[in-house]
Chain A
């Protein structure tokens, strides 16, 4: 299929100035509407003419969706806050340093200036078969082109694949799950708050979506409680090009230690499944154990249980194991 990179097909542009207006527009235009945050995911789709929305609702003029504020004992980050703003915010850097570390690992400085945290966590899969417009499962078809004997699947899933083997590309998502963040969603039925780890869904649940956002829903903010503020954090991203690339695998860990023992830990990897994977079995296994090489070895072994590599991504299994080991070692350092 020829991909035409010229002007974007015409659409009707709306730039609401309030969340209520944006929701009303979504309700009015239904499936014809496309919600635009920073545009870094959306414009790829538009320019490749794979997605041709009739209506685009640009959220950039909604002030209430921007900024970082203190809420209760934690913070709330507006969904339209740019990644650069997250990286530079003093309080975020001081108390939740894993998040700016992860945000800074995303893409390039120019993209971080434009890209938003809401867009980063809600971006679509980067599988090139899907992005190329082929009628794969995720696009509503009945095949996964990446999961075939000849499919190019070096970057694809080793866990929780169900027909589709695409992975979640977000860097901030695992950090937010490690911080036990809550996603604030507004929709036709009002506001609901969900745990960050429940915000992402795999293909087994819905093969055409990466998040629980339904048509008409809007991610308005992300709340981070103080539960893990000031903990020991570890974030590492492995990618083909250090300057600008999606993660092959990334790992995020938040750890509270008591002496040399791990008192509490949240450990998350991404780039290995269609959703960030919280390693609850590993967390349970290492809790109470000393933060040493033996524990790191145990964590690494447990992390990869159930991994099913495809034709070309077997390397992800040791990569994930080693990143988990490094996370345990990293917080010990």
Chain B
């Protein structure tokens, strides 16, 4: 099995041309194995969430200050997620179905989906930078301390109780980091690769870069692609796991319940904001019960 396919160009240079396509199966099978191992671990060995975090639950008075529905994802963020997800699935299907024997004219669909992904990611960068809490998705020192505590307690060692999560658990933040790296790699290389095919945007120019540069660009694009096979598989798996369904629903409806908020999140690290309820001609916050 070759990790990278090499070829000799007309000038006698050994150049990479793309990844070994067997890596697609490595990625897919690796992801499925991870899911099976995780599912078995959760079913038979994992301790309940409460055992990971024995920080005191909020007192009744404090809990009452939390709105009944806590806003988690704005409409803009949810629409972005939906569009990005559809573009990503289209990209993966158009890229890899032909590799597994389903033949169709995929190139045009692929670059159109790539453009949709690019535009949605540009929107997301601006939206997250100027309208959302930009740093809420990046791992911080507290995340790492709490991860260490959870790990020690899971291994049977003594460690202080980890705090409840901020808006996003560390796993979400790491997943976002991986998707960001893979996505920017795929988008950056993909935009240049569009110079090699017929599109309405560019005049074709296969000589924009040398063979070696083009080759590594194809390799990086392929690595990002097979990386996303594993990442998307894992994402879908976690999205449908029973204990994570409330997060999935929040990506559809935009909110989580007060109970879910209090059970999983730290008020100090992620202050609750009431869901914005559209009414006739305006939006207003749902009042928290007195």
Given contacts A1-B12, A135-B17, contact A205 B218 (CB under 8 A): no
Among listed A136-144, A267-275, A315-323, interface-contacting one: A136-144
- B271 — which chain A residues lie within 8 A by C-beta? none
Instruction: Name the residue on B nearest A141 (C-beta).
Output: B17
Taking a contact as CB atoms under 8 Å apart, the answer to whether A143 and B206 are in contact is yes
Kindly identify, within residues 6 to 21 of chain B, every residue whose CB is under 8 Å from any CB belonging to chain A: 7-10, 12, 15, 17-18
- Docked pose: A143 CA to B198 CA in angstroms: 13
B104 touches A (CB below 8 Å)? yes
Taking a contact as CB atoms under 8 Å apart, the answer to whether B103 and A142 are in contact is no
B204 touches A (CB below 8 Å)? yes
- B204 — which chain A residues lie within 8 A by C-beta? 147
Taking a contact as CB atoms under 8 Å apart, the answer to whether B10 and A1 are in contact is yes
- A148 — which chain B residues lie within 8 A by C-beta? 206-207
A306 touches B (CB below 8 Å)? no
A206 touches B (CB below 8 Å)? yes
Kindly identify, within residues 91 to 121 of chain B, every residue whose CB is under 8 Å from any CB belonging to chain A: 98, 103-107
- A201 — which chain B residues lie within 8 A by C-beta? 103
Instruction: Name the residue on B nearest A214 (C-beta).
Output: B101
Could you tell me the distance in whole angstroms from the C-beta of A291 to the nearest C-beta in chain B? 35
Produce 1/0 per residue, A159-171, CB < 8 A to B: 0011100000000
- B15 — which chain A residues lie within 8 A by C-beta? 135
Interface size class of A (residues with CB under 8 A): 20 to 34
Interface of A is mostly: loop
Instruction: Name the residue on B nearest A137 (C-beta).
Output: B196
- Docked pose: A242 CA to B257 CA in angstroms: 82
Taking a contact as CB atoms under 8 Å apart, the answer to whether B8 and A163 are in contact is no
- Docked pose: A201 CA to B105 CA in angstroms: 10
- Docked pose: A5 CA to B63 CA in angstroms: 85
- B8 — which chain A residues lie within 8 A by C-beta? 1, 135
Taking a contact as CB atoms under 8 Å apart, the answer to whether A142 and B9 are in contact is no
- Docked pose: A141 CA to B211 CA in angstroms: 11
- B207 — which chain A residues lie within 8 A by C-beta? 148-149
Taking a contact as CB atoms under 8 Å apart, the answer to whether A205 and B105 are in contact is yes
A134 touches B (CB below 8 Å)? yes
Could you tell me the distance in whole angstroms from the C-beta of B263 to the nearest C-beta in chain A? 51
Could you tell me the distance in whole angstroms from the C-beta of B2 to the nearest C-beta in chain A? 12
Could you tell me the distance in whole angstroms from the C-beta of A195 to the nearest C-beta in chain B? 17
Taking a contact as CB atoms under 8 Å apart, the answer to whether B196 and A163 are in contact is yes
Taking a contact as CB atoms under 8 Å apart, the answer to whether A147 and B206 are in contact is yes
Taking a contact as CB atoms under 8 Å apart, the answer to whether B10 and A134 are in contact is yes
- B142 — which chain A residues lie within 8 A by C-beta? none
Residue from A1, A139, A140, A205 in contact with B104 in the complex, judged by beta carbons closer than 8 Å: A205
A145 touches B (CB below 8 Å)? yes
Taking a contact as CB atoms under 8 Å apart, the answer to whether A145 and B10 are in contact is yes
B154 touches A (CB below 8 Å)? no
Residue from A134, A142, A145 in contact with B196 in the complex, judged by beta carbons closer than 8 Å: A142
Taking a contact as CB atoms under 8 Å apart, the answer to whether B105 and A142 are in contact is no
Can you give 26 A-B contacts (C-beta < 8 A)?
A1-B10, A1-B12, A134-B9, A135-B9, A135-B15, A140-B5, A142-B17, A142-B18, A142-B214, A142-B215, A142-B218, A143-B206, A145-B10, A147-B206, A148-B206, A148-B207, A149-B205, A161-B198, A162-B197, A163-B107, A163-B196, A201-B103, A204-B105, A204-B107, A205-B103, A206-B98
- List 14 additional A-B contacts (Cβ < 8 Å) besides A142-B218, A201-B103, A202-B105: A1-B10, A140-B5, A140-B17, A141-B7, A142-B18, A142-B214, A143-B211, A149-B205, A161-B198, A162-B105, A162-B107, A163-B196, A205-B104, A206-B103
